[in-house]
Structure 1
């Protein structure tokens, strides 16, 4: 009976990860704790295994498409490896109520940020028009042959360098934070990666979803490495959970291909609000 329930929950988690590029760990941890009776530390470890398997399957399913920003994804993954390891070490020293309350608070914060950012983007899009001084909506840069192309090129070079430095700094900072929280909370980090890729790196929601799966694969492998001597895995639960979740992830990709970026953003934020409130209330009642 436990295996059947684990499979059913795995299907839901897989659909969420396949559709939204993250959030599966946000569901997997409460599912393992409240539905399958595991303690928080065992659940966070099991969640990392499950999310890692699902994410790797999601990356393979997207290899032929153009929905993965490989440079950004590899950058996030590489800088997150040492911090995910550190987060896993901290996880073992923190009491269970603190883990679950931290989990709930972070999901609610990210949901609010995504909803606010989504609303702001929608207002900018609705009011978009030609830039001042450029009636045709052009860039305002003189065309070649106007006598200023050389000067423009000289000015653009340092601008491009500054933009590159800013982008690298964003990847290093956000990737490090996401990696640490992946190890600490055992959630794969997708519910942080997707907002980071859209709000900080400027990726579209479909690209952020595909890239997030690549980052989750990196972070899950690193987090498992840090736990290798302290594994407490119930394969009777994790096996059917992960196996069915992979099938759900493949189905989720088909759903994502038919949804707009705005709809995906709202769905992701709504999921975080629901899970954050549930875990927060349950954790407070258990104090």
Structure 2
């Protein structure tokens, strides 16, 4: 088996473990793995990412719902505007983006490069959020800021639609700071939101992208296994320390992606 392909299958397991341990970051790994290890075109990779991360988050959220670690009213408040935004973005906005986006002489910025650079920029923002907010906890009982949560849902929906990112690194800080949830509740609630909007977003691609269902089904099984492994490891790790360490990894990966794409341009 080709070394890159083998690394891709191993990385698929790590995607599920990441979601289980810190409640975010799965899609941050999924798109680069699909593009650089499996050679999937970037726009199609973002669609696959929505399916894989959505399915994995759904599986991981079941046990947390049973444990009462999910605030369903907040799921509805965040997910309603997010669902609309992600579906419209995948079904209408993304297909309407021209290719190439910009050209001047020999310099051509294609749609694929634009998507990857945008995704890498989002990775850098995610890394800063993870590093700075690694020890974030609510200060106590506070009034839920419904408008801010709904607005964030809309913004995350557009970003999810454009680059296939679940957005857990954006969702969790809002749930902690604007809703006063504990980290356990924020992670559980985030997983449910990610599952719903990612899977709905994927349906917006049907008819626009040629889906290899055999590959997608096979690839999706490994993050599910990783999620099961990660949930067993949760008691043995400090999720805040893991989030900071993962943040530095994402920072390096995002920087490398931008460098690679700029060289290609």
Distance in 1, matches of 2:130 and 2:114, equals 24
Q: Give the whole-Å Cα distance in 2 for the aligned partners of 1:201 and 1:224.
A: 28
Distance in 2 (CA, whole Å) between partners of 1:222 and 1:244 is: 21
Q: Does 1:187 align with 2:165?
A: yes
Distance 1:261 1:33, change over 3 A: closer
Residue by residue, what CA displacement relative to the aligned partner does 1:147-191 show, whole Å, maximum 9, x if unpaired? xxxxxxxxxxxxx9xx35xx1112111111111111111122223
Trace 1:71-86 onto structure 2 (pairs within 5 A): 71-86=73-88
What does residue 226 of structure 1 align with? 204
Picking from 60, 75, 98, the partner of 2:114 is 98
For 1:117 and 1:249, locate their aligned partners in 2 and report how far apart those are by CA, in whole Å.
23
Alpha-carbon shift at residue 204 of structure 1 (Å): 2.8
1:201 equivalent to 2:179? Answer yes
TM-score by length of 2: 0.83
Is the CA contact 2:123–2:250 (under 8 Å) kept in the aligned structure 1? yes
**TM superposition shift of 1:65:** 1.6
| Residue correspondences, number | 247
Q: 1:262 aligns with which of 234, 237, 240?
A: 240
Distance 2:121 2:148 in 1: 23
Structure-2 separation of matches of 1:67 and 1:41: 34
Greater Cα offset, 249-258 or 196-205: 196-205
Query: 1:26–1:195: structure 2 CA closer, same or farther, 3 Å change rule?
Result: same
Write the distance in 1 (CA, Å) between the matches of 2:133 and 2:251. Answer: 15
CA-based RMSD of the aligned residues comes to 2.5
* Distance 1:278-1:199 versus aligned 2 partners, 3 A rule: farther
Query: CA contact under 8 A between 1:114 and 1:195: conserved in structure 2?
Result: no
Which residue does the alignment assign to 2:35? 33
Runs of 4+ in 1 over 6 A off after TM superposition: none
Give the corresponding residue for 1:148: none
Following TM superposition, by how much is the alpha carbon of 1:199 offset from its aligned partner in structure 2, in angstroms? 4.1
Partner secondary structure for residue 105 of structure 1: helix
Residue pair 1:21, 1:210 contacting (<8 A) in 2 also: yes
The Cα shift of 1:282 comes to 1.9
- Aligned with residue 65 of structure 1, among 56, 64, 67: 67
Report SS of the residue matched to 1:230: coil
Q: How does 1:236-275 map to 2 (within 5 A)?
A: 236-275=214-253
* 1:176 matches 2:154: yes
Match of 2:48 among 31, 46, 49: 46
Query: For 1:21 and 1:41, how far apart are their aligned partners in 2?
Result: 24
Listed one character per residue, the Cα deviations across residues 97-122 of structure 1 (whole Å, up to 9, x for unaligned) are: 11111111122123223433447x69
8 Å contact kept, 2:130–2:169 = no
Structure 1 pair 198–275 and aligned structure 2 pair: CA distance change class (3 A) = farther
- Quick one: distance in 1 between partners of 2:83 and 2:233? 30
CA–CA separation in structure 1 for the residues paired with 2:243 and 2:182: 10
